[in-house]
Amino acid sequence: IYFTHGHDDGDWILEQKMFRTGTGVFMTLGNNTSKDQKKIFGKFTSQDEYDFTKTIVPVKLVQYSDESLISRSQAKRLLSRVDKFKTVILDYEGVDSIGQAFADEIFRVFRMKNKDTDIYYMNANREVEGMITRTLLIG
């Protein structure tokens, strides 16, 4: 199983391929780009330090096929190792809905256990944002 992602299209695809045993990372870089390295690194570092303190996590990566994001275990899988960052932005693009337990695990339970990590969200539709807001008001 592997994930493939093209920066231009913003699409993540889960596929199965026959690779050799082990872990492999493959990357293709375009030499003729107008992207600015300082701007790219600046999105993920603090202004005072050069540590990578920020991450953006596409929430749809935790979603297999058409399954709904409703459980605490799915939220825990999504949040795996994000406690290493000071700022986490969850990108809900392509996610139609989330369940109460999923939202509660992220926006109440995780926040209580990881007070040094700030969690934000982006690209949430009305339904997803409504569930997040409800969880924040209750928590």
Where are the domains positioned within the chain?
32-138
39 pLDDT band, cuts 50/70/90, is confident
**Coil vs helix vs strand at 67:** coil
> How many Cβ atoms from other residues are within 10 Å of residue 102's Cβ?
26
3 pLDDT band, cuts 50/70/90, is low
pLDDT above 60: residue 44:
yes
What is the distance between the alpha carbons of residues 27 and 110, in angstroms, rounded to a whole number?
33
pLDDT above 80: residue 28:
no
User: Count of residues for the chain?
Assistant: 139
Q: CB under 8 Å to 111, separation ≥6 — which residues?
A: 117, 119, 139
Name the token pair of 31. Answer: 């030499």
42 pLDDT band, cuts 50/70/90, is confident
Higher pLDDT, 2 or 134: 134
Could you please state the CATH topology (level 3) that the domain comprising 32-138 is classified under.
Transcription Regulator spoIIAA (3.30.750)
